[in-house]
Amino acid sequence: MCHMSACAFLSYVSIVFMKLVPLQPIKSRPQFLKIATLSVVFCGSVVGGNISLRYLPVSFNQAVGATTPFFTALFAYFMTFKREAWVTYAALVPVVAGVVIASGGEPGFHWFGFIMCLSATAARAFKSVLQGILLSSEGYNTMRGAFLPCVPYGYYVLGKKSVLVLVPAVLIMEPNVLEVILSLGKQHRYMWLLLFINSTMAYSANLSNFLVTKHTSALTLQVLGNAKGAVAVVISILLFRNPVTVVGIGGYTMTVLGVVAYGEAKRRFR
């Protein structure tokens, strides 16, 4: 909720005070429903990912998250009837196989955590396809000519809707959240500063993703995401000391290599 509040607030500052893009009202009910659906799916992916981290180590969570291209291709096929070359689909085999192998060799494997992590990954892929459909709809055609300036506006709208979804979820799932936050604020001197920095970095990360895509390509962004996942696995093992078997490492490696092969296949056969 803090992350999406920061996205809405900082985007509002970019629109109203920095004048990067004009503030535009929602033009129709279908447009509102699409944005609301996108917000709910986005929130579901984040909440599912956070829940999975209570049961799974970060390293395994990242390995499962690397299967996002598989679900993206699947949803794109069923929702937009977009077909890829057979080489592209073949490259997804090691992506899924790597996670299966890593699951068998993961000492900290937990079924509920795995299901939540897999659901969050699928929701993240579904969000990407849904976002593409939204951007190509009639009401958002103007975004194509000014992709960068519309990023603050897009996150302003998405942030507002996501906050409306997350506030009741927080009150239901964490009824004592205010008491806990105030208690942590008293115990830890820099808690409020760290929370603010964390939320600001979340907005910056989202904005950076769009910048990388604009100035390079989606493939570059995907490769950088794979590098981030590999780094997260290594840091997780070093920082949290979670045990990893040779089988698990082999599965992680296969998944990362499979995603790289998928990106290369997409580049060559698009």
CA distances from 65 to 14, 72, 107, 255 (A): 31, 12, 18, 10
- pLDDT tens for 181-196 read 888 888 888 889 998 9
pLDDT at 219 over 70: no
Query: pLDDT above 70 covers what percent of the chain?
Result: 76
pTM of this structure: 0.67
- pLDDT tens for 14-62 read 777 877 766 666 677 777 777 778 778 888 888 888 889 889 887 788 7
Give pLDDT, residue 156.
56
Counts of helices then strands in the chain (DSSP H, E): 11, 0
Query: Mean pLDDT, the chain, as a whole number?
Result: 75
Signed CA dihedral, 78, 150, 123, 161: sign only: negative
Domain spans, the chain: 2-268
Cβ neighbors of 77 (< 8 A, separation 6 or more) are 83, 84
